[in-house]
Every structure is written in C-alpha cells, then in structure tokens.
Amino acid sequence: MTAATTTAEARKPGPLDTLADTARKNGWTIGLLVFLGVLLAFTRFIQPTYGPSGIQNLAIQALPLALAAAAQAVVVIAGGIDLSIGSMMALTSVVAAANMEDQSPEYAVFVVIAVLVLGLVLGAINGTLIVATRIPDIVVTLAMGFVWAGAALLVLPTPGGGAPDWLKDLVLGSLGTEWLPKALVLLAIVVAIVWLPIQRSKIGLWLYANGSSPLAAFRSGVPVNRAKIIGYMVGGLFAALAGLSLTASTGIGTPVPGPTYTLLSVAAIVLGGVSLAGGRGGLFGPIVAVFILSLLRTDLSFLRINTNLSTVAQGIILVAVVMVGTLVQLRRERR
Amino acid sequence: MSGATATAPAPARGEARVSAAGIRALLRDRPAIPLAILLGILIVMSEIVRPGTVDANWASVIIRTAVPLAILAGAQTLTMLTGGIDLSVGAVASMSGFVVATLVGDMGFMSAILVAIAAAALAGLMTGIGVGIFRVHPLIMTLAMSLVVLGLANVWQLQNVQTGSGVPPELRTLGAGFTFGIIPNSFVVFIPIALLILFGLRRTGYGRMLYAIGDNPVAARLSGAKSWQILLLLYIISAVMAGIAGFLLSGATNTASVTLANSLLLPSVAAAVIGGTSILGGRGGYGGTILGALILTVVTALLNSLGFKEADRLILFGAIIVLVAAAYTRVTSES
C-alpha cells in the first residue's frame, strides 16, 4: 500500500525503516486476508454444502457495508470522521429508488449519475460546514446525520420505489465462473476507479498529510481545508454508491437503514488497520474486515449459535483485535 | 487551562455593558445564561403558537420527558469532558429498563432495580477496563460494548418471552407518576443525581481530574493523575447513570424493549454539545447540559404541536445543533 510510503515520507526514516514499515503495514492486511481464508475453510468444514451460492450471498450481504467502510476510511484517513454515513446511504438509496420506479432503463442511468453527484454534494456540505465553522467533525456529521435522515423520510416516508433490472443484475448473480460473484467484481471495480487515481495523485498525498498532521501539512503548503472537503466528498461518493447498492440488492429504497451502518463502518475501518487519529491505513484492509465480519455472522448461524450471541461475539472480537493492536503499538513505542 | 468553564470566575461586574465582546464573554464564561434565554424564548413561542399550552401540567410533562435524556446526556457530558464519548448509553439504558421490567414480578421492585444497576455497572467496568487500561479508543470500546449489551439483552429477552404489554405498575409510577399530582417522580430521582454531578464536577478532586485529563492528558499524567483509575470509575458512573435513565424511560413510556433508548443516544450527545461541553474534552459542565436537554425536549414538543412530521423535526434538530455549536466555536476560539 502506498499508505506506508506516504506516512514514511512524513517521518523521513532510513531505507531500512521504510522497508520494515511497509512490511508491518501490509502485515496487518495480509493477516486479515489469511484470517478470511481460514474462516472460509472453517465455514466449508462446518457446513460442507457451503459453496458458490454461499459466497454469492456473502458478497451481496457485504457490499453495502464494504462501500460504507470505504467511505469512512477515506474520511478518517483525511483526518475526520463521518457519523452521517448511514443517513447518507438512506437518502441516496431512497432518492434512487423513488426516481427509478417504473422508468425506462435509460432514464435510470441518468438517475444513478445524479445520485452519485448527490453523494458528492452531501459530502461537500459536511466538509464545508466543518471547515467553515470549525466545529469538531464528530458534532457536525452527527447533526447532519439527523438532517439527511429527515430528508430521506421526506423523499419516501415508507420503504418503496423500485430499481431497473440492469441495476439489480449488476450485483445479483455471478460472472463467468459461479465462484466469482458479481457483487465482488463490482466492489473491486468501483473502489479501483474511485480510489486508486485519487490515492496515486497529489490529492491522495494531501489527504494522508492532512490526516497525519494538519499543522505540518499546512506548513508544507498543503491546502488543508480543500483536502478535508475533498476527503468528505469522496466519502459522500462512496456512501452514495453504498446507498445505490442497497437499492440494487433489495430492489427498493428504505428510508431508515439506521445508524448501524455508520457504527459498523467505524468498527470495520479500525479492524482494517485505519487509525482513528488519521493519516494511516488504506481501503483494502477495511473491506477485507467487512467480509470477515459478515462471514463470522454466517458461521455463527451455521454453528446454531443464537444470532444475538453473534452480535456479542462481534463486539468482543472488535475489542479484542483493537486491544491486540494497541498492545503491539505500546510495545513498539516503549522500545 | 483555558477550559474548565465551571470553575472560571465570573466576568467583572464593571464591564457589564452590552456589547458584542460582552455577549461573547458571557457565552464563553456563563453559557447557562444565553441557554436559559433561548429556553425562555422557546417556551414563549410554545405559548404563542397555541395559547393556553404552557401551564404547570405542561411543565411537569416536559420535565418528565426531559429527565431520562438529561441523565443520559449527563453520562455523555462526563465522558466528553475527558475527551471521550459513550456510545453505549443507549444500549445500557435499554437493557436496564428491560431487566427491571422483566424481573419485578419474580424478585420485587428494589431487587430488580439493584440487579439492573449492577448489570449496568458491570458493562461500565468492562468499558472502563478497555478505555482506561488497554487504551482502546472510547468510540470503538463503547460501540463494541453496545453490541455486547444489545446481544445479551436480546438473549435475555428470548428467555423471558412473556413480556406482554406495558411494564409493571411500580416502574410506571416511578417513571410516569407525579408526587402531589404535579411533581414528576422521575424528577425526584433526578435532583440528587444532578446535584451530585454539579457539586462533584466543581468541588471535588475527581471532578477536576476529569477536566484535566480532557484538557491535556499528558500534563495530567505528568502532574500525577492516574488516568486509568479515573477513566475506569468514569465509565462505571456513566453506565450506572444510563441504567437509571433506562428504567425511568421504560416507566415513562410504558414500554419494555431492548432498543427503547437507542433513539436517545444521538440526542444525548446533542444535548451535551448544545449545553456547551466540548467533544474535544476539558470544557463544559452539567448545568448547560440540563438546559440543553430541556431545550431539545421543548423544541420537539413545539414542533409536534405545530404539526411537523418526523422528517421535518429531524432536519430542524440537526440544523439547531449545528447553529448552536457554531456559535460556541465562534466565541471560544476567538478568546
């Protein structure tokens, strides 16, 4: 991940340090991937019939949360936090569903583009308010979460609306081999198209710089305010994509997906190796973490463990992983 | 210590001229006064909108509605003073209300309440260990704890299917009843809690430690503050307060549900923010928070009586929070 090189540049260590840094950063992601692999094998072991359809369900289930986690990751990397992601998903999802119902497929393409622009605008409003008023991010996005949730209820008071077949086709089913769910391919493509160009460009550097130290970034000539607003806009775009994926996979728009997505997105990015202090981590880790969380839920139900206890397990795993991470960090600092 | 509004001296009497700077100083040093004026305006508006609404009965109903929110917001205020946040108050409060409602029949009212408070304290102890000793970010720790508590409460619910409708009469009396026909019983419970917090924050060493940790954790540590002990106790206090708010709310709304208080989580943060407590820590107090909770309750009642729908209420709610927070940030950052 270039995340490592970006933060490493800020600290100016020797080449050996950089190498160790890179290995450690990727170490976390590699560890997550290995864990996901083990978990998949374990799933197959406890439920021998787990196969392509299971993988497909997993991908469809994980898609909205994965995109929400991507949204949260970008914002947190840029030094903010967005507690309005769940509400933005609700708003974009209902706007899409309400406008695409009983419309021609061509018109729906136009709606999808408009919804993505809406996501950018919502993020820009969040970011601009934070920069202009200097209120802490958490307060602004919390308050704006109310506003977006209210707006979603204005658009569609009850679940409804519709989605064209082509949109549903994008996420349902598989591509080529039945082992490759379309939802997974879509996720990979979307994240690659949106994030990679940003991450590789000067703007990506701005985001990481602003996240790791706004003051240092400002003194190095980074337009910190613009960087923050851009971070929120990219977050808004991912939230809109998450909302669209909700509409696509369910075929309707639901005005209240609840704060669960917001809170789980925070959990996923922390598990995925993004530091809440900003400036560290990438998007791949959080997305893998989302798949792990979803698969754990499936596994616990296969094991006939009460689904409520699996909520408990999620909480405990979250804390345990973060504790291990903190302890590792503390040990390193002491050395 | 630019913070610690609670202990700051009053502005000099000689400079009591009404000027922009004077108002600013007033808002900064005594946020309770402008908040009380805002509350007064809202009450007058309620009377103008529907003449005859504002009377003793109206006031007691408003207070009864505001008490659970004010207690939850108190828990939030204490954690925010240290620079943390407690996202588990909603889950802990719901759990406590539900536990009391289901246990009263078997073991009597007082024992049921003691069990609920003990359960809440246990959750708080866990959170405190995570935040204080393992230094897990409060956002993550309390979020995870809310997942754990919600899951366990759900399991408990499945084993006590006979919830029926409504809650036991004792709980109903405590949460919804009136002493002398006019003073809400929950207010009688609230007064000692409020006095304890107000006094504790201003006059005790522990209260000052909370401000110190939030204002500058490093300075607090170097001055000999054992922050882990302080945080451990803080999260226990916070959870116990949430537990008390939970069964009051359960009685007031005559419902026992494991998600009852979840809708109060974000308003509890909002009430503390409106009351002038900084989410960054070190600044604020409980007096403002109580007024914040009252303001939110009166606004909700006012919007209800004007016939606003849920959607418009949410939007206005969010807008009010941003406006008030912006006003605070403006006056506190220019000092």
Closest-CA distance, B188 to chain A, in angstroms, reads 31
- Nearest residue of chain B to residue A131 (CA atoms): B326
List helix spans (H) across A201-223: 202-212, 214-219
| Nearest Cβ partner for A142 among B146, B266, B310 | B266
- Look at strands B183-184 and B178-179 and give their pairing: antiparallel
**Mean pLDDT along residues B227-232:** 90
With an 8 Å Cβ cutoff, the interface of chain A facing chain B consists of: 81, 129, 133-136, 138-140, 142-147, 149-154, 157, 259, 263, 266-267, 270, 276, 306, 308-316, 318-319, 322-323, 326-327, 330
| Nearest Cβ partner for A151 among B134, B139, B315 | B315
Q: Summarize pLDDT for B162-199 with one digit per residue, the tens.
A: 555 567 777 888 877 787 777 888 888 899 999 999 99
CB of B332 within 8 Å of a chain A CB? The answer is no
Which pLDDT belongs to residue B54? 79
Cβ atoms within 10 Å of B168's Cβ, excluding its own:
19
| Nearest Cβ partner for B144 among A129, A318, A327 | A318
CB contact under 8 A, B314 and A327: no
Cα pseudo-dihedral B216, B219, B221, B225, rounded to 10: -80
Closest CA to B99 of B75, B70, B120: B120
CB contact under 8 A, A306 and B150: no
CB contact under 8 A, B278 and A136: yes
- Cβ-based contacts of B154 with chain A (< 8 Å): 308, 311
- Evaluate whether A46 touches A29 at the Cβ level (below 8 Å): no
Structure tokens at B188: 């009688």
- Cβ-based contacts of A266 with chain B (< 8 Å): 139-140, 143
CB contact under 8 A, B266 and A259: yes
CB contact under 8 A, A327 and B137: no
Mutation choice for A interface testing from B77, B147, B312 by most A CBs within 10 A: B147
CB contact under 8 A, B155 and A306: yes
Hey, which residues 138-167 in chain B have their CB within 8 Å of chain A? Answer: 139-141, 143-148, 150-152, 154-155, 158
Structure tokens at B272: 């503390």
pLDDT tens for each residue of chain A, 335 residues long: 444 444 444 555 566 666 666 666 677 788 888 888 998 888 888 888 888 888 888 888 899 999 999 999 999 999 999 989 999 999 999 999 998 888 888 888 899 999 999 999 999 999 999 999 888 888 899 889 889 989 999 998 888 888 888 888 888 877 777 778 888 888 999 999 999 898 889 999 999 999 888 889 999 888 999 999 999 999 999 999 999 999 988 888 888 765 578 878 888 888 888 888 888 888 898 999 999 888 888 888 788 777 777 778 878 887 887 777 777 666 666 65
Structure tokens at B70: 């004010």
Check pLDDT > 70 for residue B254.
yes
Hey, which residues 280-309 in chain B have their CB within 8 Å of chain A? Answer: 280, 309
Check pLDDT > 50 for residue B312.
yes
Adjacent-strand bridge partners of A253? A160
CB contact under 8 A, B139 and A315: no
Quickly state the pLDDT bin for B26 (edges 50, 70, 90).
low
Cβ atoms within 10 Å of B194's Cβ, excluding its own:
19
Which pLDDT belongs to residue A6? 47
**Confidence (pTM):** 0.83
| Nearest Cβ partner for A322 among B136, B269, B279 | B136
Q: Which percentage of chain B shows pLDDT scores above 90?
A: 25
Establish whether this prediction's ipTM goes over 0.85: no
Look up residue B10 and give its DSSP letter. Answer: P
In sequence order, the 6+-apart residues with CB closer than 8 A to the CB of B291 are B32, B35, B36, B39, B274, B275
- Nearest residue of chain A to residue B146 (CA atoms): A315
User: How far apart are the C-alpha atoms of B172 and B71, rounded to whole Å?
Assistant: 18
- Nearest residue of chain A to residue B318 (CA atoms): A143
**Mean pLDDT along residues B227-233:** 90
In sequence order, the 6+-apart residues with CB closer than 8 A to the CB of A125 are A144
**Mean pLDDT along residues B6-15:** 45
The residue ranking higher by pLDDT, B306 or B236, is B236
Adjacent-strand bridge partners of A160? A253
CB contact under 8 A, A308 and B140: no
Which pLDDT belongs to residue A48? 83
CB contact under 8 A, A143 and B318: yes
CB contact under 8 A, B315 and A157: no
Question: At which residue do the structure tokens 């900064």 appear?
Answer: B28
- Cβ-based contacts of A122 with chain B (< 8 Å): none
Check pLDDT > 90 for residue B114.
yes
- Cβ-based contacts of A152 with chain B (< 8 Å): 311
CB of B129 within 8 Å of a chain A CB? The answer is no
- Evaluate whether A136 touches B323 at the Cβ level (below 8 Å): no
